[in-house]
């Protein structure tokens, strides 16, 4: 195929412009939050991100990993942009970042669904939700059922998964990160006070005339003391009732 010198020059200039634009693009910080116990899933995720040019991955690791060599193993991965330790304060730019959990124990899902923030991981997730930032659970990192569990137990765990999805937490694989980000509505990242959105003073003041849905995430915000006053057509989820029972809050 014959290409004129002028056409060749145009192609070269276009490629150079694209390369310059790529170099100037600021990567989105992605915090890979690690559990206390080591897992090869962390190295696997980092190796899978080596060809990704959209995210700068920062493993968030226990301080004890400094001594046992686990932190060094992650730092040696080409995709690692730098380590963060649990003893450090939360990143100031949390609102513009992604937090990802390659390993997702069942108790992490349950506590997140019930809004219990008594561990480093659940406190991090709560901060992400309050900041309106993206939180991702890797699908491959979810704990598997053995097949011997009672149906009631399985249904409850599945309900917890549905609840965390309601909170805006994504469950996907690394290759789906970009696609999920493009599908997210901009309003997902805005911080709207829960009381303003879900607790209008009178039924006629409800946003768009929609019914008020009370979930586990807003039981405490809507309650006055130990009482949560319901309007005639309020919808209360099962998890909200569980949360209220846990907090000794009654519905009236």
Beta-carbon contacts of 35 under 8 Å, excluding residues fewer than 6 positions away, are: 101, 103, 105, 108, 121
* Residue 1 pLDDT exceeds 50: yes
The pLDDT of residue 175: 86
Tell me which of 144 and 12 has the higher pLDDT.
144
The pLDDT of residue 179: 65
Query: Average pLDDT in the 132-156 region?
Result: 93
Tens digit of pLDDT for each residue in 62-115? 999 999 999 999 999 999 999 999 999 999 888 999 999 999 999 999 999 999
Query: Average pLDDT in the 112-125 region?
Result: 95
Tens digit of pLDDT for each residue in 155-179? 999 999 999 999 999 999 888 887 6
The pLDDT of residue 16: 59
């Amino acid at each position: 195929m014959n290409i004129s010198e002028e056409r060749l020059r145009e192609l070269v200039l276009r490629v150079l412009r694209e390369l310059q634009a790529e170099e100037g693009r600021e990567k989105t910080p992605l915090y890979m939050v690690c559990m206390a116990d080591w897992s090869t899933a962390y190295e696997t995720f980092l190796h899978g991100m080596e060809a990704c040019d959209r995210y700068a991955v920062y493993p968030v690791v226990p301080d004890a990993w400094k001594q046992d060599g686990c932190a060094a193993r992650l730092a040696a991965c080409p995709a690692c942009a730098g380590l963060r330790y649990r003893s450090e304060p939360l990143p100031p730019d949390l609102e513009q970042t992604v937090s990802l959990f390659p390993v997702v124990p069942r108790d992490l899902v349950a506590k997140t669904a019930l809004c219990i923030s008594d561990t480093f991981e659940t406190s991090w997730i709560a901060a992400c939700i309050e900041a309106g930032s993206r939180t991702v659970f890797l699908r491959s990192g979810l704990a598997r059922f053995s097949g011997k569990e009672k149906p009631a137990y399985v249904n409850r765990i599945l309900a917890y998964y549905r609840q965390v999805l309601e909170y805006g937490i994504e469950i996907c694989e690394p290759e789906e990160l970009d696609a999920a980000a493009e599908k997210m509505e901009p309003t997902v990242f805005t911080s709207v006070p829960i009381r303003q959105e879900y607790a209008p003073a009178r039924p006629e003041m409800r946003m768009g005339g929609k019914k008020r849905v009370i979930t586990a995430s807003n039981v405490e915000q809507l309650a006055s003391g130990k009482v949560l006053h319901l309007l005639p057509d309020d919808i209360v989820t099962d998890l909200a009732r569980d949360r209220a029972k846990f907090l000794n809050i009654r519905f009236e």
